[in-house]
């Protein structure tokens, strides 16, 4: 049975070997993962991301990510946006170093002390952004318990509102479907999207031309639902 991803922030470092700042990205991300925020973050391997790793791309599609790049070419941020979704935060180490007037940080292979200190500073920045993202106020609640669709038999079927193709759409039965999927520990993937659509179609009219849009929207809402429950 697939595991439901926990509410975490994905960290993507460029790890570029061309510049010492690339090594700083790597060191900073590992520091956050191992020491500063081990329970709140996961790393998404950029090479795997670029090579088509579906797990990495799916995660970044549904969860907030922080891209950490060494230079203004911003490979990690651009790759995340190209293959998944725009990163919630983009940090460029060369800019951080410039602002801190940190010039000589050693070679890419072995950072000097200043380079390691810069990595510590960047790690602190990542941790702050992680906290901010996980406590983000005003997040849209996808489902409202008060939303209940009437039924001719007199019973109430809870519903939720989902934005589909830019339009807020009432979806009957959604809370129950999501809750059941969560109990079954169904993860965020194509198969789950298809299964969600099939279940939703039992209570709702879904035009053939809109099936893909519904599937994507349902998966997106399901990801938010899991985030809020976990």
Partner 1 sequence: MSGTRRKMSVVPCSGIGKSLGAAAREAAFILAEDLRPATTKIVALSLLVMGDEEAEREVAGGEAVAIDGCKLECAAKGLACSGAARVHKVAVFDVIRRHRGLKPGGVCDLNEDGLRLARATADEAAKIVDDADAEGGHA
Please report which residue ranges of 91-158 form alpha helices under DSSP H. Answer: 93-99, 113-134
Exactly one of 75, 127, 164, 219 binds partner 1 (CB under 8 A); that residue is 75
Shortest Å distance, C-beta 75 to partner 1: 4
Round the CA-based radius of gyration of the chain to a whole number and report it. 21
Give how many residues touch partner 1 by CB under 8 A: 28
d(CA 64, CA 21): 23
For partner 1, the binding residue among 4, 36, 60, 76 (CB under 8 A) is 76
How many of the other CB atoms lie within 10 Å of CB of 154?
6
Q: Give the rounded distance of the alpha carbon of 112 from its chain centre.
A: 33
Q: How far apart are CA 78 and CA 164, in angstroms?
A: 26
Q: In this structure, are residues 114 and 106 in contact, taking their beta carbons and an 8 Å threshold?
A: yes
Q: Considering only residues 53, 106, 124, 187, which one is a binding residue for partner 1 as defined by CB under 8 A?
A: 53
Shortest Å, Cβ 51 to partner 1? 4
109 binds partner 1 (CB under 8 A): yes
Q: State yes or no: residue 2 binds partner 1 (CB under 8 A).
A: no
Footprint of partner 1 (CB under 8 A): 13-18, 22, 26-27, 29-31, 43, 45-48, 50-53, 73, 75-76, 78-79, 108-109
């Amino acid at each position: 049975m697939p595991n439901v991803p926990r509410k975490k922030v994905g960290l993507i470092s460029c790890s570029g070997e061309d510049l010492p700042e690339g090594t700083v990205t790597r060191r900073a991300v590992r520091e956050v993962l191992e020491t500063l925020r081990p329970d709140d973050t996961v790393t998404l391997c950029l090479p795997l991301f670029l090579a088509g790793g579906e797990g990495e791309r799916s995660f970044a599609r549904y969860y907030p990510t922080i891209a950490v790049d060494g230079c203004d070419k911003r490979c990690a941020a651009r790759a995340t946006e190209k293959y998944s979704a725009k990163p919630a935060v983009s940090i460029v180490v060369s800019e951080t170093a410039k602002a801190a007037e940190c010039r000589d940080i050693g070679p890419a292979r072995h950072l000097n002390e200043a380079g390691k200190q810069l990595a510590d500073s960047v790690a602190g920045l990542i941790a702050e952004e992680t906290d901010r993202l996980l406590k983000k106020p005003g997040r849209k609640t996808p489902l409202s318990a008060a939303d209940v669709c009437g039924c001719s038999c007199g019973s109430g079927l809870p519903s939720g509102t989902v934005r589909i193709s830019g339009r807020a759409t009432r979806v009957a039965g959604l809370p129950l479907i999501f809750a059941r999927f969560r109990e079954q520990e169904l993860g965020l993937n194509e198969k789950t999207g298809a299964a969600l659509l099939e279940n939703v179609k039992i209570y709702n009219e879904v035009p053939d031309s809109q099936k893909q849009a519904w599937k994507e929207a349902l998966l997106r809402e399901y990801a938010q639902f899991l985030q809020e429950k976990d």
